[in-house]
A and B are shown apart, each in its own frame.
Chain A
C-alpha cells in the first residue's frame, strides 16, 4: 500500500507543466531519432543533457528516458515501411515487417507494434516499480567488496556481449577506466596524469567525450557514407486496423516479448538489441508454423518490438538500485543525474524517493503519449525519414559544438569533443565497441573507490572475500562465464551472441 501512495504522489509531482513538457519533448525527439537512420538514441540523449541542466534531476531523467523509449517506438516505422532500421534495436523488425508491408499490411503492422510497445512499456514499468525498491533495499546491505565484485562481473559480461572480439570490448573498458583516473583523486587529492595542466586537474569532462564518441563520430560516418533516398509507402488511417486473426496472433508474442525483454534488459551490454533477437528466436521456436517467419509473420514483428521497449525498463533496475549502468544510454543517464548531484543507487530510495516515483509516474504518462503520437502520426513520421542528411547533419553538428561549449564555456572541451569524434569514427570502422568505453569512464571512480575501500576494509588480506557469500557468488559467475567462453569453442559449440553495435549507439 505504501508503494501505491508513493506512486500517487509521483503522479501529482509528474503532472507539472515542466515535467509533462519534458516528457513530451523526450518522447517526440526519441520517436524522430528512431525514425531517422543515423543518429541513435544514445547520441541524442548526450546532446540533450546540457538542455536538462536548468531543470531538476527528475525532469532530466524523464526527458532522457523519453528519448530512449521513443526511439524504440519510432525505430520500427522505417523498418516496416522502407526496410531500413531507424536504430539497431529495430533490425529484426525488418525481416517480417517489410514483408507485411509488401503484402499491404504495413498499417496493421505499425498499429500492432505501437500497441505492443505500449503493453510492453506498461509491463516493464510494473516490473521496475515492483523490483527496483525491493532490490534497492536489499542493496543497502552491500559493502564495497560486493560492489567491486558486481562491477567485475558486469565488465566480464559487457566485454563479451558488446563486441565481435571480446578482447576489443575489454580494451575499451580498460581505456575508459584509465580516462576516469585523469585529474585529482577524490580519496587522497593526488593529481594523476595532469602533467601540470590546470584543465586536466579537474579531469576530462564526461560530456565532450560522450558527444564526440556518439554524436560527432556518427555525423562523420553518415556524412562519408553514400546517401540513398528511401522510397516510403503512404499509409492511410483506415489501413491501421489489424484484422481479427492478426490481433489474435499478436497477444501471446506481445506478452512473451514483454517479459523476455524485461529480463534481458537486466543484462550488461546492448540489451535492447539483444532482446529483439532473443524474442524473435523464441517466437519462431515455439510457433506451430515457423515457416511463416521471414514471410510476413505478425509474431515476428510484435514480439521483438515489445521486447525492446520492456528491455529499456529492465535496464533501469541496475542503474537505479545499484548505480551501475549496464548499457550506454543508462550510462548517459547516470552522468546526467550526477550533473544534478543525484547519485543513483541503494540510497536513492531513502534520500530521493520522489525522484524514483515521479519518474515512474511520468513514464506511465509518456507511454500513453507515445501511443497517441505513434498511431495517427505514423504517416508523418514516415515522411520525416525522407529528410536528407545534408540538411540534418550540419544542424546537429552546430548543436553539438555550441551545446558542449555552453556547459562550462570551455573551448578545451570542444577540442576534446572533436578529437573523440575523429577517434570514435575509426573505432567504429575497426569494430571497437564504444559503449564499454563510456561505461568504463562512468564507472571508473566507483570501481577505484570500491577497490581501495575493500583493501582497507580487509587490511590487505583479499582472501577475506571468501567470507562474503554474495561476493563469492558474483566472482564465481564471472569465472563460469569466462570458462564457458574458453571451453565452448573447444567442444565445437558456438557460444557467441554477437551484436553489431552499429546504430545502437
Chain B
C-alpha cells in the first residue's frame, strides 16, 4: 500500500507551534507587559506564548530523536480527507447563493458518494431525507431564518 508522507508533517506542525509561541510572546510584549503590581494586557499571553514555545521545543527534540513515526494516512485515506474537506468548503461557498436546503441536498449526496454508498437510489434517499429533516428542524421547530437562496 502506498503511504502518503503524513507522518512527516508532525515535526513541521510542532515547528509551526514553536514559531507561534515565540510570535505570541513578542506580540504580547508589544501590548504592554505592565508590572507585577499593575499587570498590562500583554502579561498573561506573554507567559502563555513562552509555555507554547517551551513545550513545542521539548516535543520537537523528542520527535526528532525518536525518528519518523507510522504514516497516518494511505493514498486512499488522503483522497477521502481531501474530498470531504472540499465538500465542506463548497457548502460554505454555495450556501448563500443556492440556499441551505439545496446545498444540504447536494452536499449529503456528495458525502454519500465519497464514503462509497452504492448506487444512486440510496444516496438520493439519504440526501433528500437529510434536507427535509434539516428544513423541518430549523424552519419549523427552531424558527431560525436561514438563507433560502433560489427557493426564496
Contacts and interface: CB of A to CB of B under 8 A. Distances in A.
A246 to B, nearest CB: 41
Interface stretch (A267-275, A372-380, A425-433): A425-433
Given A390-B112, A429-B72, A175 B146 contact: no
Given A185-B41, A395-B108, A430-B10, A406 B144 contact: yes
Interface in A483-499: none
A447 B45 CA distance: 11
B98 interface: no
A213 interface: no
B117 A391 contact: yes
A174 B126 contact: no
Given A394-B115, A411-B92, A422 B85 contact: yes
Interface residues of A, number: 58
B115 A223 contact: yes
Given A394-B130, A460-B37, A402 B100 contact: yes
A425 B9 CA distance: 13
B51 A390 contact: no
B84 A448 contact: no
A411 B115 contact: no
Interface string A165-200: 101101100110110010001011010110000000
A324 to B, nearest CB: 18
A502 interface: no
B52 to A, nearest CB: 5
Contacts of A405: 95, 100, 146
Interface in B56-95: 56, 58-59, 62, 69, 72-73, 77, 80-81, 84-85, 88-89, 91-92, 95
Nearest to B45: A181
Interface in A398-436: 398-399, 401-402, 405-406, 409, 411, 414-415, 418, 421-422, 425-426, 429-430
A466 interface: no
Contact of B24 (A178, A185, A415): A178
Sort chain B's interface into a size bin. Answer: 35 or more
A51 interface: yes
A397 interface: yes
A223 B133 contact: no
Given A181-B45, A220-B85, A402-B138, 10 more contacts: A170-B55, A174-B21, A193-B24, A224-B73, A390-B112, A391-B112, A391-B126, A399-B134, A405-B146, A460-B38
Interface of A: 51, 54, 165, 167-168, 170-171, 174-175, 177-178, 181, 185, 187-188, 190, 192-193, 216, 219-220, 223-224, 388-391, 393-395, 397-399, 401-402, 405-406, 409, 411, 414-415, 418, 421-422, 425-426, 429-430, 447-448, 451-452, 455-456, 459-462
Interface of B: 6, 9-10, 13, 17, 20-21, 24, 27-28, 31-32, 35-45, 48-49, 51-52, 55-56, 58-59, 62, 69, 72-73, 77, 80-81, 84-85, 88-89, 91-92, 95-96, 100, 104, 107-108, 111-112, 114-117, 122, 126-127, 129-130, 133-134, 138, 142-144, 146
In order of increasing CB-CB distance, the 8 nearest A-B pairs are A460-B37, A460-B36, A394-B111, A429-B72, A171-B55, A190-B41, A390-B117, A174-B51
